[in-house]
A and B are shown apart, each in its own frame.
Chain A
Amino acid sequence: MALIEESKVDESRVEKLENLTTKEQLDLKNKKLVRKLLWLVVGSLLFAFALVPLYDVLCTLTGLNGKTQNSAALMSKAKVDNTRWVNVQFTSNVMPGLGWNFYPKQASIRLHPGQIETVLFVAKNTTNEVVIGQAVPSITPGIASANFKKIECFCFVRQSLNPGEEKEMPLRFFVSPELPKDVTDMTLSYSFFPAVNESK
Chain B
Amino acid sequence: MTMHGPDITWYLALSGMMFTIGAIGVLVRRSPLIILLSVEIMLNGANLALIAFSRHFGHADGQVFAIAVMAVAASEVVVGLGLIVAMGRRNIELDVDKMRTLRG
Q: Specify whether A and B are partners.
A: no
